[in-house]
Chain A
């Protein structure tokens, strides 16, 4: 854009200062402040007390359960995201726009709806509930339910990150690889995925952050059993309502830390590959 065009909003110095000031003040008040409070409150009783709070058996169990959930949910949704983005970007098939819309659905559905829907499918009064109960299989109010709810909520993240990139890159490189005699799988592995690897990495980080942080859907299907089915976000709420603010904030620093790492990862990704930033 050249300077001869009509001025943008904010080209006048006063307006620009106002807009910039508003943006900075709003981010400080709405995001920076609360984030600082989490760490300040967590460390207020001292580092030893902070570590003791984190080391509470129930909190440790919640961290372990949250990690175990991510270890299963993240790879599944990574595979799903790659498969979905690959199909949509590289092929024509009937129902393609339907699939595209379906992947986006979890973004627009409240997580509590997901939780309740799973209850109606797998709960004791749901479709498969009685059969599962007869065969002694526990899905609801146990680890599988937490993973299922997390899968639903985070299904779009990987596909959303890599799909625009795959579409922009088109199919020429794959076609060239195939012409040169590479197998289909080899082409996916050595051409397609490396081309989107930074966007993919960021999608995986986002999925992970959301799996670990999901509250609403998990709250419905977990049963809230202290030290058994409480994930980290549920444990934070529990500690807070127990009047144990220090414990709640200590646990919250773990989630906040994951969020900060995710942001750091995004910055690194954008440095490594400016294309990924568009995703």
Chain B
């Protein structure tokens, strides 16, 4: 009988390799972020590290994790060591404050503009030449128009779309809620496929060729046009839309444990610096810096922006009324 040979070799190799792959370097912070912010933060992190090195000689690295923000918030609650969060809606930051006491309750006042270094709005991507003549939200409820956006149950992006449509309907019907309910019901009936996230819907619209209009953040509409070409798609920014803020926060419990508060705070402040704002605007997000907005005004047409605070009385209330189990969204979904 031949001796048995490969087991011990593998075992020895395994033991030799048992060192952990992740080491918490003091010069490294982790930014846990929303799904479609990858290209933006890759560019910002690179510039931040370069500027930091030029100024202080210090080598710093910003690691990135991207996924749907509810999944990210959950992971942070379960121990993912995020030094900062950069999300696409405030509910998931608030959860970190409420459920885990990881973030200070007054996180919104720690950075300018409600702790949102930039903003965007739901806008439309249409087929090249806009054959259906889609201009505004009421075109999306026409019988001959099919609309694609993700499931509002799972996607922050889609929640903005839903609320934007609802706010538009309230505005055009003098605040008549029954009419607004009917409006979003009709809108949802025009959606042939609900993907779970923004990128999934983009793929459905462009690669599978489903639908006449894709509704997603203005920043993403520009990326879609750049990626797939002006001969395939056009971008339409409606005259009215909803302000989408992108809140940031230092995760206090983590930075205090790791001793990384200074670096984490500098990083978030960098998002508000002229250099940071310029990079953010180059990815088609709107920023507060007026000079930069003026220089890019051909890319950012004027829009009347409604806000969740004014129309819906804040995210907490909007969530209870529309998105919680048994809320308005459930009712119109069932009736669909």
Contacts and interface: CB of A to CB of B under 8 A. Distances in A.
B18 interface: yes
B334 interface: no
A89 interface: no
Interface stretch (A3-11, A17-25, A189-197, A261-269): A189-197
Interface string B12-28: 01100110111010000
Contacts of A123: 77-79
B103 to A, nearest CB: 14
Interface stretch (A31-39, A92-100, A133-141, A249-257): A133-141
Contact of B75 (A138, A141, A190): A141
Given A129-B78, A141-B81, A189-B4, A76 B65 contact: no
Given A143-B21, A238-B66, A75 B78 contact: no
B128 interface: no
Contacts of B78: 119, 123-126, 129, 140-141
What is the interface residue range for chain A against chain B?
35 or more
Contact of B79 (A133, A226, A243): A133
Contact of B39 (A126, A194, A242): A242
B44 to A, nearest CB: 14
Interface string B242-255: 00000000000000
B1 interface: yes
B2 A201 contact: no
Contacts of B223: 243
A72 B17 contact: yes
Given A74-B10, A140-B79, A143-B20, A225 B65 contact: yes
Contact of A197 (B4, B17, B81): B4
A65 interface: yes
A259 interface: no
A141 B20 contact: no
Interface of B: 1-4, 6-7, 10-11, 13-14, 17-18, 20-22, 24, 30, 35, 38-39, 63-67, 75, 77-81, 100, 199, 223, 227
Interface of A: 65, 68, 71-72, 74-76, 78-79, 82, 119, 123-126, 129, 133, 138, 140-144, 189-191, 193-195, 197, 201, 204, 223-229, 238, 241-243
